[in-house]
Structure 1
Amino acid sequence: MNTIAYIKEELKTFINENETPFNQKLLTEAINVSTKITDILNKGNIDLLKNAKKLIFYTVDQQEAELISFAKVEGIAWAKHSLTLELKLEWVQAIRRTLWHFIRIIDEEKDILKNRDEYYGMEKLFNEKIDQFLNTFFLSYSHYKDEMLHKQREVVEHLSVPIIPIKQSISVLPLIGFIDSYRIKIIEEKVLNDIGESKIQILVIDLSGIAIMEMDVIDYFEKILAGISMMGCKAILTGLRPELVKKMVHAGIHFEQNAETRGTLQETLKNIL
């Protein structure tokens, strides 16, 4: 058995037989985390001490597939329970220091590492795996957070497209704020679905709360009006502001084919009702 393989087995045996001093050393190396061990366990069912041992064993055994899978699961768990990256980084660095602390103790007792090449070779193997764990963890954590933000934004955007029924088959859609390429797609989905489900025959779209639209959004909006018309619904646009009208005119955009344009929402509703 070569030197690195021998010290791997010695290290695992030592940690298994000295679990209490191993845990104590970890906690002294991570002061901020040590005070939150119980909270993290209760909050996310994450056993930091058990997971530290697992990370070390995957590292010294060079079990790359298991280590990557473990890092992905850990990343999701920490993101899901809103545990900070700062705490995770402190904990993993404490694990790294603890690992080398016990390697030094074993080597002093048994004089295993005979030269620098053996030491640096082992250092490269072990530290690369811990770095790989950290990188995979951070990517998994970030991906989960990005997905959560995307879903939250989707919910918010759906809520910001309020189609209000004012009479059977007649509804109003007041649009306010900035409409970007993402939001216009939400508007399309919500409008066409509601027309189909609620059998809307007249949809009044009030644009008085929209000061400006980018050209790609205007083009997309024109297609939405065509879709509304194809579904047998009449679209009426109200509240078009001068700045928006000017931009449409200069760009050659015309809505007359698929929608009526009227003045204010109040006047339009008065005439319809």
Structure 2
Amino acid sequence: MDRLTLDLNLKHYLEENKDNFEQYLLNQAVNVKDKINDILRVGDIDLINNAHTLTHYIIDENTKDLSAFAKQEGIAWATFSLTLSFKLEWIQAIRRTLWIFIQKYNNDIQPISIDSFFELEKQINNQIDYFLNEFFINYSTYKDALISSQRKVVEALSVPIIPITPSICILPLIGSVDTFRTSILEEKVLTEIGRLHIQTLIMDLSGISEMETEVIDHLLKIIYGTSMMGCGTVITGLRPDVVRQMIQLGVKFDDDTKTFATLQQALNEYLVK
């Protein structure tokens, strides 16, 4: 029997025993079988139907569609942050189940010659390994892109520079400010001053819940940098504990930096007048 005929016969045999194949597959995938409905609900991924699709591509040695399918699956699993160990267990369960049914075909339908068997073994295992490789490459690539995109959004939200006139902007800082955030702050502030031609930056610190000692020194350097770019800095809402830290460290703002107790006072000074 030539390989083409064998492949067609195997496909036909698997179709005839579809329900039995699924039962064997679920028994092989011990940890995944209880998660099938969750994965379908969260990611709209039908593991059972996908298993049949994958086996057809493998037996047909359809590398083009197999690659596209692996990319589709990799992106889907990355998008919905599905557990990779489940995917790996599922694919290995498909591999084992497929070989179980090839053995059944050999025993119950028609013996497979030694040469055909070794060719089939190479084809099936190579195709499954190729699928896994393509899946993980696409998963990693898309996941990295998602993380990068989300990080940019977080960075933008953590430094919200708000224009209120063509030359005046407000930078309200909220939450905890650490050294990582001040690094983002420095880059964003200097970039936006140049891009928006900001002449006055009102930096409101009233929403800061915690500030590391190193951050105060970094903040002073940012203020100095804005001054070098021709932008005046106005500080509002300094908390008493931050002021005490500055006094203990012996640091102070330069004479060009203005301070107000509240943001409202600064707005009255720069907008109302």
What's the TM-score once normalised by structure 1's chain length? Answer: 0.70
Q: How does 1:54-65 map onto structure 2 within 5 Å?
A: 54-65=53-64
Contact preservation (8 Å) 1:163, 1:171: yes
Query: How far apart are 1:100 and its partner, in Å?
Result: 0.6
| Distance in 1, Cα, partners of 2:227 & 2:62 | 57
| Distance in 2, Cα, partners of 1:156 & 1:173 | 15
| Distance in 2, Cα, partners of 1:42 & 1:21 | 24
Report the CA distance shift for 1:77/1:6 in structure 2 as closer, same or farther (over 3 A).
same
Is the aligned partner of 1:29 residue 2:32?
no
Contact preservation (8 Å) 1:237, 1:260: no
Name the SS of the counterpart of 1:32 in structure 2: coil
Name the SS of the counterpart of 1:35 in structure 2: helix
Name the SS of the counterpart of 1:203 in structure 2: strand
Is the aligned partner of 1:97 residue 2:96?
yes
Is the aligned partner of 1:13 residue 2:6?
no
The answer for the alignment partner of 2:199 in structure 1 is 201
Percent of pairs with identical residues: 41
Q: How does 1:1-273 map onto structure 2 within 5 Å?
A: 2=2, 4-108=3-107, 109-114=109-114, 118-163=116-161, 169-173=167-171, 176-179=177-180, 184-192=186-194, 195=196, 200-204=198-202, 229=230, 233-235=231-233, 260=256, 273=269
Report the CA distance shift for 1:74/1:165 in structure 2 as closer, same or farther (over 3 A).
closer
Unaligned regions of 5+ residues in structure 2, if any? 237-242
| Distance in 2, Cα, partners of 1:219 & 1:189 | 15
Letter in 1 for 2:83: T
1:22-73 Cα deviation digits (max 9, x unpaired): 1111111112222222232233221211111111111122111211110110
Letter in 1 for 2:85: E
Query: How far apart are 1:178 and its partner, in Å?
Result: 1.6
Report the CA distance shift for 1:95/1:67 in structure 2 as closer, same or farther (over 3 A).
same
Contact preservation (8 Å) 2:25, 2:93: yes
| Distance in 1, Cα, partners of 2:20 & 2:165 | 74
Report the CA distance shift for 1:103/1:222 in structure 2 as closer, same or farther (over 3 A).
farther
Letter in 1 for 2:149: K
Report the CA distance shift for 1:188/1:104 in structure 2 as closer, same or farther (over 3 A).
farther
Contact preservation (8 Å) 2:226, 2:232: no
Query: How far apart are 1:163 and its partner, in Å?
Result: 3.3
Letter in 2 for 1:137: F
| Distance in 2, Cα, partners of 1:90 & 1:270 | 62
| Distance in 2, Cα, partners of 1:182 & 1:61 | 52
Query: How far apart are 1:186 and its partner, in Å?
Result: 3.7
Report the CA distance shift for 1:142/1:203 in structure 2 as closer, same or farther (over 3 A).
same
| Distance in 2, Cα, partners of 1:183 & 1:61 | 55
Question: Mean Cα displacement is larger for which, 98-107 or 31-40?
Answer: 31-40
Letter in 1 for 2:106: D
Contact preservation (8 Å) 2:159, 2:185: no
Query: How far apart are 1:152 and its partner, in Å?
Result: 2.0
Letter in 2 for 1:112: I
Contact preservation (8 Å) 1:10, 1:106: no
Contact preservation (8 Å) 1:158, 1:190: no
| Distance in 2, Cα, partners of 1:155 & 1:112 | 58
Letter in 2 for 1:151: S
| Distance in 2, Cα, partners of 1:245 & 1:162 | 29
Report the CA distance shift for 1:186/1:55 in structure 2 as closer, same or farther (over 3 A).
farther
The number of aligned residues is 249
Query: How far apart are 1:119 and its partner, in Å?
Result: 2.8
Query: How far apart are 1:125 and its partner, in Å?
Result: 1.9
Name the SS of the counterpart of 2:201 in structure 1: strand
Q: What RMSD over aligned residues (CA atoms) do the two structures have, in Å?
A: 4.2
| Distance in 1, Cα, partners of 2:250 & 2:57 | 64
Name the SS of the counterpart of 2:179 in structure 1: coil
